[in-house]
Structure 1
């Protein structure tokens, strides 16, 4: 098991969006930003539509920790790079979950830049 409870995986994984706050160098939380979130197996993932240049993504690199909130669950997390061998599978989860937004919007999270900025959320 990944450290997430079944309740947390279900609640966060089925939420439309996740609120993500990364920690600054001094330990305070940045303002939360809404981000699409997907569940793949027993893990939760987020991607930056602006790749590694996205402001919120760059914020996760400061301390590699923060807090997420979705589906009635709030949890401190660590931010870890996703395994690139899962890129196709994670693409498929994004396409299935957010298909109603159409290919133009989905192209923002299913592209090489977004793949390079895929974060696995690690419960703390």
Structure 2
């Protein structure tokens, strides 16, 4: 499995502009770019669906397992995988640090969004 170059991951972690586009059903066409919050925990990039598992981008990411993101002026081909377990506590803490002043923080660390946590890994 590929890992993020440290400099790229740092730039993504410091930005607030991650847009995600999983492949559509045909596996070749990218979906509409959707702006979402992201956090870095232990050298890995994570995102969550505000609307939980009902989020369209989440459903496509889990089905297709691939797509692209744009963040910090970069466009990257990526893989997606669902996340469960204790790492979610650390991801919650990452959201608390990065988005402490947002009124949307509570829903993003709530059960609905936690159930739609995705790890993003670069393909190249």
Q: So what's the TM-score if we normalise by structure 1?
A: 0.92
Q: CA deviation at 1:2?
A: 5.5
Whether the 8 Å contact between 1:82 and 1:120 is mirrored in structure 2 is: yes
Q: CA deviation at 1:85?
A: 1.2
Which SS does the other structure have where 1:67 is aligned?
strand
Q: CA deviation at 1:62?
A: 2.8
Higher helix share: 1
Superposition RMSD in Å: 1.4
Partner of 1:110: 109
Q: CA deviation at 1:42?
A: 0.8
Misfit runs of 4+, over 4 Å: none
Partner of 2:21: 21
Partner of 2:58: 57
| 5+ residue gaps, structure 2 | none
Partner of 1:43: 44
Between the aligned partners of 1:4 and 1:45, the Cα distance in structure 2 is 12
Between the aligned partners of 2:62 and 2:42, the Cα distance in structure 1 is 25
Whether the 8 Å contact between 2:62 and 2:82 is mirrored in structure 1 is: no
Between the aligned partners of 2:81 and 2:21, the Cα distance in structure 1 is 15
Q: CA deviation at 1:17?
A: 2.6
CA distances 1:3-42 after superposition (whole Å, capped 9, x unpaired): 1101110111111130100101221001101001101111
Q: So what's the TM-score if we normalise by structure 2?
A: 0.92
Which has the higher mean CA deviation after the structures are superposed, 37-46 or 9-18?
Answer: 9-18
Between the aligned partners of 1:23 and 1:38, the Cα distance in structure 2 is 22
| 5+ residue gaps, structure 1 | none
